[in-house]
Amino acid sequence: MAKHLTNRDIELLVSLIDGWNGKLTWEALCDQAEGLIGTRPTRQTLNAHAREKSAFLDKKIQQKSGSQPTKRPASLAIAEQRIQRLESENQRLKSENGLLFERFIRWQYNAQLRGLSQVVLDTPLPRIDRDSAEEGD
């Protein structure tokens, strides 16, 4: 049976995609993922997670519209690689933020339809008293 991806695995894979150099394919990503998470996930497994799918598609768009790195000394090449990874991560986070904003607007609309006020929605979560469970032991 295939291994389910943990949140840590997903973070590692998204970082891998953000820093990807060269042609990005699902198969190449699966091959590289094996070294990171210990098992080789399938394309379907990776595609089933919204963050990985979004990062993959964003990176593909960047690669189609981006420029090719030039030959530089090692220190500049490392800096260029880091900048590319950070720009890729920034673009992915902007995309994720947009999706979250859309979800918030949808929730806001649905709450208004059901007569929930902002005061009710902004009510803080109840405080959890973690000491009470220890006293019973």
pTM: 0.57
Q: Is residue 50 part of a domain?
A: yes
For 99-114, what is the mean pLDDT?
94
pLDDT of residue 113: 94
Dihedral sign of CA atoms 84, 86, 90, 96 in order: positive
Residues whose CB is less than 8 angstroms from the CB of residue 27 and which lie 6 or more positions away in sequence, other chains included? 43
| Residue 67 domain boundaries | 7-121
Question: Is residue 99 a part of any domain in this protein?
Answer: yes
- The answer to whether position 55 is within a domain reads yes
Q: pLDDT category, 95, cuts 50, 70, 90?
A: very high
Q: Is the pLDDT of residue 101 over 90?
A: yes
Which pLDDT score is estimated for 134? 58
Inside any domain, residue 136? no
Q: What's the number of domains the chain is made of?
A: 1
Please give the share of the chain, as a percent, with pLDDT higher than 90. Answer: 33
Q: Is residue 129 part of a domain?
A: no
Q: For residue 24, is it within any domain? A: yes
pLDDT per residue as tens digits for the range 16-65: 998 888 889 999 999 999 888 888 998 898 888 888 888 898 888 888 88
For every residue of 102-122, DSSP letters joined together read HHHHHHHHHHHHTT--HHHHT
What is d(CA 54, CA 63) in angstroms, rounded to the nearest whole number?
A: 14
Q: What is the mean pLDDT of residues 81-108?
A: 93
Q: Residue 130 domain-assigned?
A: no
Kindly report, residue by residue over 55-77, the tens digit of the pLDDT. 898 888 888 887 555 556 678 88
Rounded to the nearest integer, the mean pLDDT of the chain is: 86
DSSP reduced 3-state for 98: helix
In a domain, 73, yes or no: yes
> At CB < 8 A and 24+ separation, what contacts does 81-86 make?
81/19, 81/21, 84/19, 84/21, 85/18, 85/19
pLDDT at 99 over 80: yes
